[in-house]
Amino acid sequence: MVYIWRTYSRFSNDFSQFYLFNPIGIYSIYYHSKFEQIKKTNSMKRIQIINGPNLNLLGKREPTVYGNQTFEAYLQKLKSLFPDVQLDYFQSNIEGELINKLHEVGFSYDGIVLNAGAYTHTSIAIADAIRSITVPVLEVHISNVFKREVYRHHSYLSDACKGCIVGFGMDSYRLGIDAILHFD
Ligand code: DQA
């Protein structure tokens, strides 16, 4: 018993309370559910969503182009649509921070959904970062950039990415996650 406790107590901070105050039956049920939880966490796919400049203002920013929803509200919806995926979110207005995040997750996650905002049309550095990592990157845009100003028609990132999803509103992110999960 002590041996089992030593082996598995590292999985849970509150484990010792269960060990002390519960009979063995409850202990086994508790252990089993903890183990299942750990197994699930370990086998979960991990996808990083990265939003670039001005996307922190979604919901307020040009609602006729980008809609009324904040990204934080949409993220809750995404999490409920993909309960078996670990979805991590990062936003920055600073080019170097976006690059640092790509480096940080770019060798260990299962995919990255990247909306680099206006850096899409200007940043060779972000394109180089995408080429430097091994995790597939999906470029997404909320608006259909091809229906907009000519300077938005060119992306430095597209040919470094696995694919691009453009113009489906916030749903572009959901489609990006689906693409990562279902296409090799
Ligand atoms: C955008 C399109 C970009 O041209 C623009 O600079 C953005 C948002 C989009 O999601 O539609 O910031 O990436």
Could you confirm whether 30 is annotated as catalytic? Answer: no
Residues 157 and 86 in one domain: yes
Residues 162 and 75 in one domain: yes
pLDDT in tens, the chain (184 residues): 444 444 444 444 444 444 445 555 555 555 556 655 555 566 799 999 999 999 999 999 999 999 999 999 999 999 999 999 999 999 999 999 999 999 999 999 999 999 999 999 999 999 999 999 999 999 999 999 999 999 999 999 999 999 999 999 999 999 999 999 998 7
Q: Which of 42, 57, 72 is the last residue of a domain?
A: 42
Could you confirm whether 153 is annotated as catalytic? Answer: no
User: How many structural domains comprise the chain?
Assistant: 2
Residues 58 and 28 in one domain: no
Name every residue whose Cβ is closer than 8 Å to that of residue 82 and which is 6 or more positions away in sequence: 47, 177, 181
Residues 85 and 28 in one domain: no
172 φ/ψ sector (left φ>0, alpha ψ -120 to 50, else beta): alpha
Catalytic: which of 66, 109, 119, 156?
Answer: 66
* Residue range of the domain that includes 76: 45-182
What does the pLDDT read at residue 43? 78
Helix locations, the chain, DSSP H:
2-8, 15-21, 24-43, 63-66, 71-81, 95-105, 124-132, 171-182
Provide the 3-class DSSP secondary structure of residue 163: strand
What does the pLDDT read at residue 34? 61
> Closest residue (by CA) to atom 7 of ligand 1?
117
Name every residue whose Cβ is closer than 8 Å to that of residue 99 and which is 6 or more positions away in sequence: 125, 126, 129
Q: Candidates 123, 139, 143: which one to mutate for ligand 1, based on the most atoms within 8 Å of Cβ?
A: 143
